[in-house]
Amino acid sequence: MKKNLTLAILILVGNFVFAQTEKPTNKTIAEKFEKNYNGNNYKAIFLMFSDEMQQALPNDKTDEFLTGLKLQAGNITNREFIRYENGTYASYKTKFERAIFSLNISIDNNSKINGLFVKPYKDSNLPKIERNITRLKLPFKDEWTVIWGGDTKELNYHVESEAQKNAFDIIIKDKKGKSYATNGEINEDYYAFGKELIAPCDGEIVLVVDGIKDNKPGELNPIYVPGNTVIIKTVNNEYLFFAHFKQNTIKVKQGQKIKEGGLLGLCGNSGNSSEPHLHLHIQNVENMNKATGVKCYFKEIYVNGEIKKDYSPIQNDKIKNK
């Protein structure tokens, strides 16, 4: 799965502000930014920048960034000061016409903007979960291979996504290392396609999305990135996110209780997926746009032929249940 575009610019600054009430200068600058942004007066915003900021983000790049933000989110409709972040950034919960972002603005001693950062807004009171405490089994039978998994970008491209940073992409390979039997031109040629996916623990089904067509191998559907989806909420309030099910094969319903080993559906190639595979990650809340990823450990599994307990797989691990 690929992460959604986040519009962001970050310029590091040196001085520090620790007060958690909005300073009058910050208030004035933020009001001017909002007025000029809503009025499409991006040149005026550029002129609010410090010399260093103008060099880092020339006028044409400023215009490109703000135009992109406007296309994605629309005008600002409401802005609320929340706190200071990273020393000098005044952080505002900012409601746009089509999104809610954190708008972070830093200013120097001359009341010039020397830092600007726009990112999806997250409530600070969301639960913080480092890893699962629910004991999990693997959500499939037989041996599968992890193609993306681990804590570094080299092992796992998901690390760049806040919600998916601990995700796994898992396929089935043969002894030759191939994931398909002949030429890989149709989904049915892939070993993972149509395989049963099961619940790794007891829980409640809190989200089901089905009916999205499977892609032709090599093609992607970026409109609904996860494709056909199931989310399980555990008794410990961990949210297990399963993506890319085969169209119309999900067997569970929202609100249903499920037991470990219960059938969820069949592996498919829907959503932002180039070949049939399972995408699995854990997050701290149900909404992926607000969530933070949780590191996933399995209770006792075979890893490359050896038993490992309380283990989080990494790229190229061959894994199956004990």
What is the pairing mode between strands 257-258 and 203-209? antiparallel
Token pair, residue 92, equals: 């505002």
Express each pLDDT in 140-166 by its tens digit. Answer: 999 999 999 999 999 999 998 889 999
Q: Which fold has domain 24-120?
A: Nuclear Transport Factor 2; Chain: A, (3.10.450)
Q: Where are the domains of the chain?
A: 24-120, 144-321
Q: Residue 44 region, left (φ>0) first, then alpha (ψ -120 to 50), else beta?
A: alpha
Per-residue pLDDT, 16: 36
Average pLDDT over residues 77-102: 90
Q: Is the dihedral of CA 126, 132, 135, 139 positive or negative?
A: positive
pLDDT band (50, 70, 90) for residue 1:
low
Strand 89-96, strand 100-107: pairing: antiparallel
Q: Find the range with the poorest average confidence among 107-116, 119-128, 159-168.
A: 119-128
Kindly report the average pLDDT of the chain as a whole number: 92
Classify domain 144-321 at the CATH superfamily level. Answer: Glucose Permease (Domain IIA) (2.70.70.10)
pLDDT tens for residues 229-279? 999 999 999 999 999 999 999 999 999 999 999 999 999 999 999 999 999
Q: What share of the chain is helix, strand, coil (3-state, %, to 5)?
A: 15, 30, 50
The whole-number average pLDDT for the span 197-226 is 95
Q: Buried b / exposed e across 16-43, counting CB within 10 Å, b at 16+?
A: ebeeeebeeebeebbebbbebbeeeebe
In whole angstroms, give the CA distance from residue 103 to residue 93.
Answer: 7
Q: Is the pLDDT of residue 34 over 80?
A: yes
What's the pTM value of the predicted model, to 2 decimals? Answer: 0.70
> Can you read off the two tokens belonging to residue 15?
């001085």
